[in-house]
Structure 1
Amino acid sequence: MNEEFHLPDLGEGLTEAEVVQWLVAPGDTVTLNQTLAEVETAKAIVELPSPYEGTVTALHAQAGETVAVGSLLIAFEVESAEPVERAEPVEGAEPAEEKSEPAEEKTPPNLVGYGAAPSSKARPMRRTRRANGNPVSVDTAVLEAAPHDVLPEMPTPARVGERPRSTPPVRAYAKRLGIDIVLIAAEIGDRVITREDVEAYAERVGGRSDAVPAEAPLTVPPLMTGERETRIPIRGVRKHTAAAMVQSAFTAPHVTTFHTVDVTATMDLIASLRQDRSLAEHRIGPLVIVAKAVCLALTRTPGLNSRWDGDAGEIVQPHYVDLGIAAATERGLIVPNIRGADQMTVPELADALSALTETARSGKTSPAELAGGTFSITNIGVFGIDAGTPILPPGQSGILAVGAVRRRPWEFRGEIALRQIMTLSLSFDHRIVDGAEGARFVKDVADILEEPGRAMLLR
């Protein structure tokens, strides 16, 4: 019986997705919940599990193609006309077992998010592909017999006939570590390579030079290729970011105000906290203190923690702070949120910020973590930039750019001294926030950073 699978509604109001890569091909036999493909929405990469057990007969979209929700993706030949009953998703559940173990409950992988769930159980082996017309396979007995300190010769993608299955951030992570994912694929078998697999392999082989492909291609600068131009498709996060920024820039009247502040006392406080053994596991840096100062200052200027609802003719003021933190990733700029940031202590904010950053860099930020947000911070100081004019995330009335901390001659207690200086750049929606309120907010943040003890007066 033929069955078809259409692109499902992935939530968060998303209407389309781009096929990043197929993990199956026509003729492959798939099991219930086996990952069929990775698709990239405007906010995140999502794995699509199979709703059927059967044989793939056709793929109806190519890798790199953008398809609308409800469009036909893949067709199957199945034994039954009805999909196999699926259990409810379970947080952190293991991939489904093969049909030979019916006693164990099958649970589908998480539809929203990025990366394969780590598991010691290998997925069912796919049908062997052909390279140059001849079937090839990997002799796993050689791997099992080899001692850990000796790496046997591994097949290359050209010899296997297909690229090892992994996700773009995982491949980029392996590349940064100088590891060829072909070597990992030969060890773990025919399943998606996860970040955990890369980390385990890197820890096992250490910094040995044989972990790096011997014939890695050299990257040629574009100006040296002889080509007059390069065309890059606008898709994924870049497409979403561009649309959002255009919408924001031409909807909300932006005003930006700047304030330069002496943060020497804040930097001294950070140095003191880092020496406290009870806080050793918390990464407390300038951005954490700025985040805390922002949450405190918003209590006096709620307009900057508001949104404009034109349809209802209302200004909506949340009684909480979901703090957006702009993160530059390999997929583009994203702004995940720290939920309830105003209720967190400094160590809790530090932990939340570390987790948010690591999740964003690994490409595992989910659409739910990118939705909402009541106020945002962008740390341009990490790029050595002092000030800028940030564009508001859609639906927010304020965003603060944090500049680099620099040692400069500064007036201090009537004399010139070498102090640590930072510039704050606040952009706000002038429909909601007037100039006085914007100035008061940025001054409140600056006062806290200039004298952290002032924070005690705002509660």
Structure 2
Amino acid sequence: MIRDFPLPDLGEGLTESEIVAWRVAVGDRVELNQIIADVETAKAVVELPSPFAGVVTALHAGEGETVNVGAPLFSCDTGEGASAEPGADGPDAAAPAAPAASGSGTDEQVAEDAPGPNLVGYGAAAESGPKRRARRSALAADLVPALPAETVPQADVATAGAAPVAPATPSERPRSTPPVRKLARDLGVELAAVHGTGERGLITRADVEAAASEMQKFDGQTPETKVVGPAEGGAADVRIPIKGVRKHTAAAMVASAFTAPHVTEFLTVDVTATMDLVRSLREDRAFAGHRVTPLAVVAKAVCLAARRTPDVNARWEEASQEIVQFASVNLGIAAATERGLVVPNVKAAERMTLVELADAIGELATTAREGRTRPADLTGGTLSITNVGVFGVDAGTPILNPGEAVILAMGAVRRQPWEHRGEIALREVMTLSLSFDHRLVDGQQAASFLTDVGALLRDPARAMTMV
């Protein structure tokens, strides 16, 4: 019996997704819940599991193509008499299917060897442990052949100072994140031939770009770039397709900028006490294993200040002509990733202690960098923070996330002369930039919120009076 598998709604309200990479080919036997493709939405790369077992009879889209939700993705013969083409059965062909279960499995199950979780409410529970790793490693070995030695000469790579290229162990899947795998596919680089310079041999973006640079010396081409006329001196313009996160971010920022009347206020604060607090917590054994950062302290201050000025934790609803003040703070944290800017959010952040908030922010940042952010973490934000200080920037005028009333930018911490207790002293100083939607937040409300945040950073003990 031939069954078509339509592309499901990935839970983000999006109507299409791009096929990043197929994990199977026509004729392959797949098991229940086996990962069949990496699919990129506008915000994250998701591993798509098969909802049934059988033999793949057709792939209805190629890598790099966009598929609409509900359109057929692949077809599978699920009949008892189904058999793969000669030689198509891999080591996992006879493996029993994973038992069906509701939900998507636990984070622990997917954290060991998968860059992303199963889809919520879709497919069977993920397998975990050595069995699953062995099956996926074997599948990857079949799908990713080693790059011929003549394609990337080892001697030339070493001469250019690039990362050395060496074939991967046949039974071992090259270690990389979904964004790096996509970049490798776009640049025509076989990951099995790239030596990873990251932690525990992880293949990084720089490793892939170095390998692609060496390849260009011999063929001068990359699949995803278009060279436009050589400029003077031999350089050439490059055209990069607008898609994925960049396309979504552009559309969201344009919609926000031309819908909400933006206003930005600034406040420069002496944060010496905050930095002393951060340093003391890092040195305290009681907080070993928890990384409390200035961002976490700012996040806690924002949650406390929002309680005093609820207008900033709200949304303007044009259709109903209402202002909705949220009962909870879903705190968005802007994260710069290899795929572009994403803003996952911490649900009910106001209920968390400082340490809990620091752990949650750290987890969001890690999953965002690895391309494993869950769709649920990318929706439902009520107000956001962006840390431009990590890039050495003092202040800015951030654009609101659509549907949110404010966004706070925290600048770099600078040690500079400052008035302290009637004298000039070297203090640690930060500039806060608050952009707000002037339709529902007035200047006075924004100023009250901003000064409350500043007061908490100037004297963290003041938080005791606001709890």
2:102 aligned partner: 88
Decide whether the 8 Å contact of 1:255 with 1:428 is kept in 2.
yes
Partners in 1 of 2:145 and 2:43 — Cα distance?
Answer: 36
2:375 aligned partner: 367
Partners in 1 of 2:49 and 2:281 — Cα distance?
Answer: 46
1:36 aligned partner: 36
1:399 aligned partner: 407
Cα offset, 1:169, TM superposition? 3.7
1:168 aligned partner: 178
Decide whether the 8 Å contact of 1:18 with 1:41 is kept in 2.
yes
1:123 aligned partner: 135
Cα offset, 1:280, TM superposition? 2.4
Q: What is the aligned-residue RMSD (CA, Å)? A: 3.7
Decide whether the 8 Å contact of 1:43 with 1:366 is kept in 2.
no
Cα offset, 1:401, TM superposition? 0.1
1:293-327 per-residue CA deviation (whole Å, 9 max, x = no partner) reads 11111111111001111111111111211111101
Q: Secondary structure at the match of 2:356?
A: helix
Alignment of 1:116-265 (within 5 A): 119-121=129-131, 122-123=134-135, 155=167, 168-169=178-179, 171=181, 182=192, 202=201, 216=211, 218=213, 226-265=234-273
1:203-257 per-residue CA deviation (whole Å, 9 max, x = no partner) reads 9xxxxxxxx99x9454789989935321111111111111111111111111000
1:267 aligns with 2:299: no
Decide whether the 8 Å contact of 1:407 with 1:419 is kept in 2.
yes
Q: Secondary structure at the match of 1:62?
A: coil
Query: In structure 2, do the counterparts of structure 1 residues 421 and 71 end up closer, same or farther at CA, with 3 Å as the change threshold?
Result: same
2:18 aligned partner: 18
Partners in 2 of 1:307 and 1:118 — Cα distance?
Answer: 41
Query: In structure 2, do the counterparts of structure 1 residues 63 and 329 end up closer, same or farther at CA, with 3 Å as the change threshold?
Result: same
1:327 aligned partner: 335
Decide whether the 8 Å contact of 2:104 with 2:119 is kept in 1.
no
Decide whether the 8 Å contact of 1:3 with 1:81 is kept in 2.
no
1:67 aligns with 2:81: no
Q: Secondary structure at the match of 1:19?
A: strand
1:377 aligned partner: 385
1:458 aligns with 2:466: yes
1:106 aligned partner: none
Partners in 2 of 1:33 and 1:224 — Cα distance?
Answer: 54
So what's the TM-score if we normalise by structure 2?
Answer: 0.75
- Residue type of the alignment partner of 1:391: I
1:149 aligned partner: none
Q: Secondary structure at the match of 1:229?
A: strand
2:452 aligned partner: 444
- Residue type of the alignment partner of 1:370: L
- Residue type of the alignment partner of 1:20: V
Of 265, 280, 293, which residue of structure 1 is paired with 2:301? Answer: 293
Cα offset, 1:39, TM superposition? 0.7
1:138 aligned partner: none
Decide whether the 8 Å contact of 1:265 with 1:451 is kept in 2.
yes
1:147 aligned partner: none
Cα offset, 1:81, TM superposition? 11
1:136-176 per-residue CA deviation (whole Å, 9 max, x = no partner) reads xxxxxxxxxxxxxxxxx97569xx8xx969652465999xx
Partners in 2 of 1:445 and 1:130 — Cα distance?
Answer: 52
1:383-411 per-residue CA deviation (whole Å, 9 max, x = no partner) reads 00000000111111010000000011112
Decide whether the 8 Å contact of 1:2 with 1:81 is kept in 2.
no
- Residue type of the alignment partner of 1:333: L
Of 433, 451, 458, which residue of structure 2 is paired with 1:425? Answer: 433
2:352 aligned partner: 344
Cα offset, 1:130, TM superposition? 11
Decide whether the 8 Å contact of 1:321 with 1:374 is kept in 2.
yes
So what's the TM-score if we normalise by structure 1?
Answer: 0.76
Partners in 2 of 1:282 and 1:218 — Cα distance?
Answer: 40
Decide whether the 8 Å contact of 2:178 with 2:370 is kept in 1.
no
Query: In structure 2, do the counterparts of structure 1 residues 165 and 272 end up closer, same or farther at CA, with 3 Å as the change threshold?
Result: closer
Partners in 2 of 1:155 and 1:297 — Cα distance?
Answer: 55
The count of residues paired between Structure 1 and Structure 2 equals 393
1:410 aligns with 2:422: no
Partners in 2 of 1:341 and 1:386 — Cα distance?
Answer: 26
Of 319, 326, 334, which residue of structure 2 is paired with 1:318? Answer: 326
2:9 aligned partner: 9
- Residue type of the alignment partner of 2:53: E
Q: Secondary structure at the match of 1:387?
A: coil
Decide whether the 8 Å contact of 2:168 with 2:174 is kept in 1.
no
Decide whether the 8 Å contact of 1:40 with 1:236 is kept in 2.
yes
Cα offset, 1:366, TM superposition? 0.7
* 5+ long unaligned stretches in structure 1: 96-108, 133-152, 175-179, 186-194, 204-211
Decide whether the 8 Å contact of 1:42 with 1:236 is kept in 2.
yes
2:361 aligned partner: 353
